[in-house]
Structure 1
């Protein structure tokens, strides 16, 4: 891994975007390495969370200009799909992080812009320092936030997404908290570390399979257009509940409650 740092910490894999000189701009190589790391983490049954953060005082300032220049040259050489492939590959990264069964915690500081903004919107839990700045500057560069937009809309709603994407304006952490972009704002690095550890402690108290199933149900519940789709999700939810309550986790959870002790996954 050349663009990220990955280390195990109990039930969590800590993944750090590590291109500080470029404010952790997301290159194609970083996309590949993040997807590889996510796949490895998903295969580890002992992991329940993935913590995503940036090095050098910034989370991520967006896409890498070097990749765009390379695509521009390819397009000039006759490759009409060069920009499509570049953009869509980043969309694949957002999709995979959005639907992973792991609990994704985004630890935000400094610049959270463009692609970094989109990546933050795929997190289940987003924690920011007070000096974090958020922006979707694509339209100021003559571009649409093509792969980012669906995740922003799902995170903050259509009205706020319109305001952010159609102005390109920078917003601070307190406004990000007010519109639901982040879930917690803390003071400084010490506050950030304490908040992350508090979230991981809470996740440790939750059963691994129950976490994954719950996330699947929540994602399926989003943006349901009518009763037929709602009924389908509720049917699937009932099936998942029936399977869970009869599983080892379900039986252990019931026994631990009756016996007034910690469940095995909490030890």
Structure 2
């Protein structure tokens, strides 16, 4: 699987982990439309690979999408310059359409992240505001350190968290979302943990070690089992009636039977009885330094060939 050269992202292929760094550090990684589209490109590529029946399961290399921010901040929200550009449309109707399209694009990206078949982990440091807050709320696991500052600042700007609010409500409930959105107060990691926005706070000195522990823990799980379980949890969360719940549970029973009978289920049972790690856990996460060095060497060779 290959990824394009992105303007606003750094993408590192670390074997079973695809690390994506939001890369507008001078702007605290504020999201512009370019970043939104590039994130969607990465996620669509990952999703297509995960669902491609022509690719053997052991060749579907990426099992985790790790999202970080470059330069000490996760993401400070949307880039207001994009909104200013939308104001340049000639008529009021065109301005409304341009702003709505801009805003909805972010919502599409959040929806895609929410349902991504990979396990999504957000590493939260510094500013976790607005759109960055929303992205954290659709992660499967979120880790933060003592530098993290969370908030929904939209209403202080006279606008609303239009595409973010539904996912914040799903994450922490209506009562707390009302408080955060309508008072727009910023808060630290300890409150983010208590609200359920993030799952664990670690000291920045132990950041890489704790992050690697989380990656290794996910990789102990069967990739097909994780993918099916994530889809099941979403289905349960979205069902609105007893009839819908029955339908979900009927399908879940079939999925369970298939999991028991397929190669992954047999391997998991055998590994348990033999008291050994399952085959899928025998993978190595590449060090960031090694991946970066290899990419730099490849670029140097390419540049030398152009001289």
- Relative to the length of structure 2, the TM-score reads 0.84
Q: Distance in 2 between matches of 1:224 and 1:159?
A: 21
1:232 to 231, 247, 255: 247
Residues 71 and 82, structure 1, Cα contact 8 Å, conserved in 2: yes
Distance change in 2, residues 1:72/1:205 (3 Å)? same
2:15 to 10, 13, 22: 10
Question: Residue 259 in 1 paired to residue 274 in 2?
Answer: yes
Unaligned segments of structure 2, at least 5 residues: 1-5, 51-59, 283-307
DSSP-derived class of the 2:68 partner = strand
Map of 1:214-233 to 2, 5 A cutoff?
Answer: 214-233=229-248
DSSP-derived class of the 1:91 partner = helix
- The corresponding residue for 1:93 is 109
CA RMSD of aligned residues (A): 1.4
Unaligned segments of structure 1, at least 5 residues: none
1:25 to 17, 21, 30: 30
- The corresponding residue for 1:180 is 196
- The corresponding residue for 2:147 is 131
Question: Residue 66 in 1 paired to residue 81 in 2?
Answer: yes
Rg larger in structure = 2
Moved more, 94-103 or 255-264: 255-264
Q: Distance in 1 between matches of 2:173 and 2:207?
A: 26
Q: Distance in 1 between matches of 2:21 and 2:144?
A: 15
DSSP-derived class of the 1:21 partner = helix
DSSP-derived class of the 2:100 partner = helix
Q: Distance in 1 between matches of 2:65 and 2:216?
A: 13
- How many residue pairs were aligned? 266
Q: Distance in 2 between matches of 1:134 and 1:165?
A: 12
Question: Residue 39 in 1 paired to residue 54 in 2?
Answer: no
Residues 107 and 192, structure 1, Cα contact 8 Å, conserved in 2: no
Shift of 1:165: 0.5
Over 3 Å off, 4+ runs? 75-78, 223-226
- Relative to the length of structure 1, the TM-score reads 0.96
Shift of 1:77: 7.1
